[in-house]
Amino acid sequence: MDFIHESNRIYLNNEDGKAIAEVTFPDISNNEVNIDHTFVDGSLRGQGMAAKLMKALVDDLNKKNKKAKATCSYAVEWFEKHPEHSNVLVEK
């Protein structure tokens, strides 16, 4: 399974080209994004897909030397459970 990476979105399509998992993160500034939405289709639930999306996003942010603000409830919870990735979060 290979995620599709766009400038402000990482997602996975099914065979019909429909997005079945995604995380969106619009730019706030040149070096900061807002993680504002995660979605996983019911057919993929329970497989850790949202966590895989978050990990892919963290990897991208680290490569691009960007920081993130998390406003999506899933993203907030994910960072609480994975403090080892908090380096990408904007300091409060």
Q: Provide the domain count of the chain.
A: 1
At 42, which CATH number?
3.40.630.30
* Structure tokens that stand for 51 in this block: 């966590």
35-44 pLDDT, tens digit per residue, is 999 999 999 9
Residue 13 pLDDT: 96
pLDDT at 20 over 70: yes
Mean pLDDT calculated for residue range 74-78 = 97
Q: Which domain holds residue 54?
A: 4-88
